[in-house]
Amino acid sequence: MANMTMIEAIQSAHDSAMDRDERVVVFGEDVGFFGGVFRCTAGLQEKYGSTRCFDAPISELGIVGAAIGMAAYGLRPCIEIQFADYVYPAYDQIVSEAARLRHRSAGDFTCPLVIRMPVGGGIFGGQTHSQSPEAIFTHVSGLKTVMPSSPYDAKGLLCAAIEDPDPVIFLEPKRLYNGPFDGHHEKPVVPWRNHEAGEVPTDYYVEPLGQARVRRAGNDVTILAYGTMVYVAQAACDETGIDAEVIDLRSLLPLDIDTITESVKKTGRCVIVHEATLTGGYGGELAALVQENCFYHLEVPIQRITGWDTPYPHAQEWDYFPGPARVGRALQKAMES
């Protein structure tokens, strides 16, 4: 075991996977020589050479397209899109090629591809460095979508994603890169550095995709969250004193509906928290699934606490996404009904 930030855990996952399987290759913009803009691939090129960890041209479409070809012919590429905001030029390749390759070839070809990208705000990155586009991937059949909230999960889930025979979208909350965010502070003093790291095994291990984790047990209300919002939800519970059960989804698709259903049937209440915008956000899908599976157990309407339905507002970003005060008000409303 070692004390690692999420950045270090992701680098360790790359290292462990590359050491274990020579088919694993890592590339993207500034990924090789420099080690990535956030240093998640630091040291890999030096250790494994420039044929297994290398820099790519500034073309997301080209990066993803090349990786799909590599995956189809037996390699296991793990590529980095420098920010999730930059992925849109590659969306056609992801949806029309990567997600459909297994099905359109009747299983003759698969696409064991991982597309990593930093997501979310809280670092004063502005409109083109702060988006949370997870819903546009969970909509696509054939893709798996993952978002860890801790260094331990980041390494284990990334190793599992690299092993997976189908394409995985691996989303990394930037606000958690340098340590778990405790959720209580609306604004960190140093936005790039948030609190302590976590204990992570140095050896190779996997955390299975499609399994949620109960981060906080409770009986009064169920909170569904992922990424940074897990810590915000926990802080809201602490500040309100409400006995809420916080479920860290970890894997958005496949989704662990069994853990969700068990919790909501126990509590009779459900609050959904995510950083992305409300309309068309993943919370809408979660709300529909909870209603379908737990209708007769619900005591109050399901609530969604999300980002605003606006382009990402640089000057008001700490009001834009949910903080413990907004989540706390939702919890109190759920308990008063």
Parallel, antiparallel or unpaired: strands 244-248 and 213-216:
antiparallel
Of the residues 103, 129, 185, 274, only one is catalytic, namely 129
Question: What's the half-sphere exposure (Cβ side, CA atoms, 13 Å) at 10?
Answer: 34
Burial class (CB in 10 A: 0-12, 13-18, 19+), 49: exposed
CB neighbours (10 Å) of residue 22? 11
In the numeric block, the tokens 């906080």 are attached to 216
CA nearest to 246, candidates 270, 275, 265, 268: 270
In the numeric block, the tokens 């992701």 are attached to 10
In the numeric block, the tokens 């969250």 are attached to 225
Find how far residue 330's CA is from the centre of its chain. 23
CA-CA-CA-CA dihedral for 148, 150, 156, 159, to nearest 10:
60
Residue 129 annotated as catalytic: yes
In the numeric block, the tokens 């309100």 are attached to 240
Kindly state the tokens that stand for 170. 């691996």
Distance, CA of 227 to CA of 275 (rounded, Å): 9
305 phi and psi angles, rounded to 5 deg: -115, 115
Q: How far is CA 35 from CA 54, 118, 264, in A?
A: 9, 15, 43
CA-CA-CA-CA dihedral for 180, 157, 281, 67, to nearest 10:
120
Distance, CA of 193 to CA of 206 (rounded, Å): 26
Q: How far is CA 224 from CA 68, 104, 190, 215, 322, in A?
A: 33, 34, 27, 10, 13
- Name the residues annotated as catalytic: 129
